[in-house]
Chains A and B, each alone.
Chain A
Amino acid sequence: MGNVEVIDRAVLDSLLESVGGDGEFLAELLDTYYVDTPQQFAAMHEALDTGNTEDFRRAAHSLKSNSANFGAMGLSAKAKNLEEMGKTGRLEDAATHLEDAEAEYMEVKSALEMIQENG
């Protein structure tokens, strides 16, 4: 079940506008998002394991800005939170928040896919 509020349609529309309405390009971008995001999650998991706060922070940072690009504001906020943790170095609670973010991502993805299908 896709929660449309997960994606802020306005942002996405604006993004489409900024690339000149090129739907194909947007699809390319989304494809890259779909590949990139899991990689970021993986990087964060690994960072937790190794205790590398910097790597953790950077991955969270990327997630944050990418998500915001596509209107996934909620996910973006969660990523920001994770970034903070990476900055301050308090990673004890990170694992939970990370799972939470991952879950949110599942919703984002399906929502985006649905939008792609339906326009």
Chain B
Amino acid sequence: MVRKQAPGGHILVVDDNKINLMMLTRALREQGYQVTTAENGGEALEILFSPAAESIDVVLLDILMPDLDGYQVLERIKQREQLHHIPVIMISALDEIDSVIRCIEMGATDYLHKPYNPALLEARINASLADKRLRDLEIEYLEQVGHVVEAAESIESSAYDPECLDQVAGREDALGNLARVFQRMAAEIHLREQRLKQQLEQLRIDVEDMKKTMSEPLSVYIPMDRRQALVHGTTLPETTLGAALFVDVSGFTPLSETLAQQLGPKRGAEELTRILNQVYGVLIHVVHQYHGAVVGFSGDAITCYFEQDEGILAAACAIEMQKAMQQFSAVRTPDQNTFSLGVKISVVAGPMRRFLVGDPQIQNIEVLAGRTVDLLAAGEHLASRGEILVHQDITERNFELFITHEERVDPVSGDYFTILTGLQEHVAPQPWIELRKDVLRDEQCRPWLLPAVYEQSRSGAKGYLSEFRQGAAFFLSFTGIDYDQDEQAGVKLDRFTRWVQGVVAQYDGSLLQLTMGDKGSYLYAVFGAPVAHNDDALRAVYSSLALLDIPAEFGWIKQVKIGVTQGQMRTGSYGSSTRRTYGAQGEKVNLAARLMQVSDQGIICDRSIFQATQARLGYEELEPVSVKGVAEPVALFRPTGEKLRLERKRVSLIGRAVEQVELGRSLQSSRLGPSKTVLLEGEAGSGKTRLVEKFSSYSKEMQIPVLWSHPDLVAGKLPFHAWRSIFWQLYDLEAIGDDKGRLGRLVEHLNGAGGEKLQGADAVFIESILLGNQQIGDLKQDLEIPRQAVEILARLLKARIDSNPTAIIFEDAHELDAFSWELIQFVSSQVNHLVILVAFRPLTEPGSPALTQLVRSPNTALISLKGLSREEAYLLACEHLEAVSLPQEMVGVLDGASGNPRMIEEMVYIMRDDGYVEVVAGACHLLPHVDLDSIVFPTTPEGLIKSRLDRLTPSEQLTLKIASVIGEQFSLDVLTSLYPLDLDRPFIIKHLETFTNLDLVTSFGGNHTFTFNDEVTYQAVYNSMLFSQRRQLHRQLAEWIERNDLHDPPGDYALLAKHWRQADDTAKAIDYLEKAGQRALQQGDYELAERYFRECLELDATAAVLSTEFFKKKLQGENIQAD
């Protein structure tokens, strides 16, 4: 509060002497002061206690007065808070000094004596006034400081009013500055709080949204009509009559760009999806209100079906939709711009086909088709935003009800459409019967979702909700099915769709939608969502190429055209809370559709695809075209085929001279007498195989027969399993048809060789070990390895070899069992003229005692393969590249292989195939702008294998995958039969050659049977498949086996059960397991039977049938171990 200041000042003069009063007053007024008088103390106090006192600056107070004297007045003044600070000057007579002193002690400021001296009077008054002014300022200052303090407190209690400091902020001094600073800071804090509140609110909305979406049942992915049919146990007829409505939302593209710019791509996409979902929420609600169902989503549009409606409900729905879209006519963006969203609608009615196609294991796809539906597209072309176009048939039938505007003609069909603007009468909504949220189980809904989306939505992962990611998409259009006239239309479409789904799935993509348009039927697929790879572009093109190759059974498919693009897309689940779908949207997706239309036949790709795949595929460039919404014409590319892949060369053995000599020498010495054993030890990829091959060729040169120990992939290896194939080769047991005959030959030789005759138990032993098809788990528990087992087998060996030098090779001997080692050791000392080559990886555990003995024997040569020397590595690399020299940088890089030949090979081919080096006229040099140090080379055996697998073409990878489904061992026949695409045998053989070259598989048994080189390779390939792929292949394999029953005795039930189980067909698996169990029971093998039945129960705990069988047997008194 600023005190009122009288110019000069306002003085109260108190004196009971009138004359004094008059004189003082006049003198003061002359000096420019405003004067108020009081003739006694009481009057003075009256004035001072009144509001008038506010303006009084000084009081002149006579001491000697009647009633209340000056001293008492002073006392009262000083007692009053408001008056306390007013200066009081006492007027006194000269002889009243004592009183004066008392007054000053009481707080009087000064004194004047009578008669007064005018100059002194003025001086004293000025001084007092000045004091008072200072004091006033001080008070005001303190008051305003008080405001600032209050403001600070109010900030903390959130009661801050920005205007409360305006006055203080007006000051020009330090306090004013402080106030201004404070105001600014307070404003900022306030703003920040507001923003935080907003963010919190948005988060809350997001969480609510998410909760709502996640709490939505999966049945929202099924169109309402289908949903209701499922619940009520009815089916939707394929031939039907009704109305269809197509609504296309426009205005998203500019909105999407703006949001992406302002909020960043991720948040922008989320915001866009949120708005999109709001729009869908509104539109779909209306559809359901009028008994319509959303059959499919395409781009920013939906197709709806109103069964049995002549068009009235659909028209009413359309009117309501346009009304409802008003609320989106001004959508605000963060930068306060507005965007307008609108829809165009087209309505038709008539006969239609309603199909459900696709492989339920992958995804069901809903379809609405027929000429009537084609007209829907025609209508849409004629419509503009905000309009409803209704087909002539509907308008003609309902001209009384419809309020129409103008007509538009479709140039293609000649039909016309009317613009509907309203209805004469209100058409009442006909909502569907409400369904409880949990009325359909998740498993029932599963076929309508992509498997990956199903998994993600069940686990509650937010990832599927909306994302902005890189992906590749293709749009495929085809004609050839007459949906209206052909009774088989549904079946044909289904088969074709399944085939496409299969092809796409093999490349790990997803077929998303199937739509009917006026120029054909379209489907589109996406690679990169829900599952992403780093070569999605390649997959998209490869699958497109595969799709162009229509199998003969789809001969009626015509005019396949495909558009392929790559780029940013919005992927994820979108729609309303009552009807959703999973899809990919965006400019690039639209472009793919456009490219498809532009193509006259075959495939057209955009530049992104071209750049991403041109290392593997050849392209021809076509004339660019203009595309709506894109400024520059779009470059077009057509793939012409796979580029010739540079082959890998089979190189000669580099280095290892010493080792080769050793091998030769061992072979030589075997002629002389005592057997030689060569232990060849080396890391994976160190070149053991090459040396073993060398050994084998030396043997052939020296005409020494070679026996190979073949891997026996019997689960739970039998003792001596490594020797099985050797005995089979040695005794030519393959030629004999049955085990009895085989045993006979073996026994014959054994007995003929002299020594003890074979005892019964021994015969049984030989039979179990060397013959028959049992697995380790099948053996009776009480099989004993006779103590003379080793001796017997050695005798068997000797009996056949006699004195002929023979070479025996054991590869991968690190997998040998102890018994096999023992036999090797025994044989090497007891049988002559043998050369046994045992190759193995460095043992991680201490070897068997037999191995230790071998190592110590003088007849054993120990070769330990070290890494190649730098020179040898250089030579090897040169050989691979067919170059005479290498760039220096390469040499440095190759050092990282530590002389491991396989690693060197891999690195060299990576550098060549990935475009880092090239060989021209025998000279190898670096390509420009490459950095060898940036290459990440695989360092583990698994990494090496993966690197090789990645370099296979997709069709090669497919072959390998199919092989892995067959098993670790597979035959060419089965492989060829299983191959899904029409591929010739020679092709597959070529593939197998490649695989062998790459050390992935090995052939034996005359090039008809193959085996994966090791467990790691096998697992890597098998696991690289999607579950759905695996299941499909296992099923095909199981069916094939059933058709071509090759086994003896007929039907390897266990194998079939295994494949059916992997194919996820529990019923069949159980069926075969039962059969297997029955047979085992019949053979008296109760443990085996139990195993099979147990597996049955694992699959289905209610497998009651077999339990009865089992218990029946028990009840028959058999002594079975009860469970």
Contacts and interface: CB of A to CB of B under 8 A. Distances in A.
A109 B210 CA distance: 109
Contact of A18 (B16, B22, B118): B118
A29 B20 contact: no
A65 B18 contact: no
Contact of A66 (B19, B26, B93, B118): B19
B30 A28 contact: no
Contact of A65 (B26, B115, B118): B115
B535 to A, nearest CB: 112
B17 A29 contact: no
A22 B30 CA distance: 12
Given A36-B18, A65-B93, A29 B23 contact: yes
A32 interface: yes
A102 interface: no
Contacts of A28: 22
Nearest to B30: A20
A29 B115 contact: no
A25 B17 CA distance: 16
B63 to A, nearest CB: 11
Nearest to A65: B114
Contact of A62 (B16, B23, B115): B16
Contacts of A20: 30
A61 interface: yes
B64 interface: yes
B66 interface: yes
Contacts of A62: 16-17
B68 to A, nearest CB: 13
Contact of B26 (A25, A68, A69): A25
B64 A58 contact: yes
Contacts of A61: 64, 93
Residue of B18, B19, B20 contacting most chain A CB atoms (<10 Å) = B19
Contact of B20 (A25, A58, A65): A65
A19 B26 CA distance: 8
B70 to A, nearest CB: 12
A104 interface: no
Contacts of B64: 58, 61
Contacts of A58: 64, 66
A19 B29 CA distance: 11
A65 B26 CA distance: 18
Contacts of B22: 28-29, 32
Residue of B26, B27, B114 contacting most chain A CB atoms (<10 Å) = B26
A41 interface: no
Contact of B18 (A18, A19, A32): A32
A68 to B, nearest CB: 7
A29 B21 CA distance: 10
Nearest to A11: B115
A36 B18 CA distance: 8
B60 to A, nearest CB: 15
A68 B18 contact: no
Number of chain B interface residues as a range: 10 to 19
Contacts of B18: 32, 36
A99 to B, nearest CB: 23
Contacts, number: 39
Contacts of A55: 66
Interface string A84-99: 0000000000000000
A33 B66 contact: no
A33 B93 contact: no
Given A19-B26, A58-B66, A32 B118 contact: no
Number of chain A interface residues as a range: 10 to 19
State the main secondary structure of chain A at its contact with B.
helix
Nearest to A61: B64
Nearest to B118: A18
Contacts of B16: 62
A69 B24 CA distance: 13
A32 B26 contact: no
B118 A29 contact: no
Interface in A57-113: 58, 61-62, 65-66, 68-69
Nearest to A19: B26
Nearest to A87: B95
A58 to B, nearest CB: 6
Interface in B87-118: 93, 114-115, 118
A13 to B, nearest CB: 14
A66 B18 CA distance: 9
B23 to A, nearest CB: 7
Contacts of A65: 17, 20, 93, 114-115
B115 A69 contact: yes
A66 B30 contact: no
A52 to B, nearest CB: 11
A77 to B, nearest CB: 14
Interface in B3-58: 16-20, 22-23, 26-27, 30
Interface string B110-146: 0000110010000000000000000000000000000
Contacts of A68: 115
B19 A32 contact: yes
Contacts of B26: 19, 22, 25
A2 B22 CA distance: 27
Contacts of B93: 61, 65
Interface in A24-60: 25, 28-29, 32-33, 36, 55, 58
Contacts of B19: 29, 32-33, 36, 66, 69
Contacts of B17: 36, 62, 65-66
B33 to A, nearest CB: 16
Interface in B398-446: none
A28 B93 CA distance: 23
Contacts of A69: 19, 23, 115
B30 to A, nearest CB: 7
Contacts of B114: 65
A104 B25 CA distance: 29
A70 to B, nearest CB: 9
Nearest to A62: B17
Contacts of B20: 65-66
Contacts of A18: 23, 27, 118
Nearest to B16: A62
Residue of A18, A33, A36, A68 contacting most chain B CB atoms (<10 Å) = A18
B18 to A, nearest CB: 5
A28 to B, nearest CB: 7
A79 B593 CA distance: 126
A66 B93 CA distance: 12
A24 to B, nearest CB: 11
A18 B27 CA distance: 8
A36 B23 CA distance: 15
A55 B16 CA distance: 13
A51 B27 CA distance: 38
A87 B18 CA distance: 22
A33 to B, nearest CB: 6
A18 to B, nearest CB: 6
B115 A19 contact: no
B113 to A, nearest CB: 11
A97 to B, nearest CB: 19
A71 to B, nearest CB: 12
A103 B17 CA distance: 22
Closest 3 CB pairs of A and B: A66-B19, A32-B18, A62-B17
10 contacts: A19-B26, A25-B26, A29-B23, A36-B19, A65-B20, A65-B115, A66-B19, A68-B115, A69-B19, A69-B115
Interface of A: 18-20, 22, 25, 28-29, 32-33, 36, 55, 58, 61-62, 65-66, 68-69
Interface of B: 16-20, 22-23, 26-27, 30, 64, 66, 93, 114-115, 118
Given A29-B19, A29-B23, A66-B19, 20 more contacts: A18-B23, A19-B27, A22-B26, A32-B18, A32-B19, A32-B22, A33-B19, A36-B18, A55-B66, A58-B66, A61-B64, A61-B93, A62-B17, A65-B93, A65-B114, A65-B115, A66-B17, A66-B20, A68-B115, A69-B115
